[in-house]
Amino acid sequence: MKVKIEESWRQRLQEEFDKPYFERLVSFVKSEYGRANVLPPGHLVFMLWGAYAKEKATLIDSSKHLILTTVHPSPRSAEYGFFGCKHFSKANDYLRSKGIEEIDW
């Protein structure tokens, strides 16, 4: 299990990392992670529309989920990529391929 902590937070929290309670917490999380389902489950579809949403793609495990990106569907930009991106049909294709019920959009 990997935990990513930004350097600015690491510096602020370093004292906490060295305390016994934190070591117990990490041990507990690791054991639970190994024996139980961890949410979110796999096979989710993330539709990231717009530049701000696309920036968040790095937070999603693409080996477990489908990530679809395009421009924001606002009236000014929709014709430059949103129309015709077929996110809804791609999402259903992906869900169907994983044995998950399609969404009735």
The more confident residue out of 41 and 101 is 101
> Does residue 13 form part of some domain?
yes
pTM reported for the whole predicted model: 0.61
Task: Give the total number of structural domains in the chain.
Answer: 2
Helix or strand (DSSP H, E) at 45 = strand 45-49
Alpha carbon 57 to chain centroid distance?
Answer: 7
Alpha helices in 18-83 (DSSP H): 20-35, 51-55
Average pLDDT, the chain: 85
Model pLDDT for residues 60-79, shown as the tens digit of each residue: 888 889 999 999 888 887 77
> Does residue 103 form part of some domain?
no
> Does residue 92 form part of some domain?
yes
Structural domain for 65, as ranges: 45-98
Model confidence band, residue 10 (pLDDT cutoffs 50, 70, 90): confident
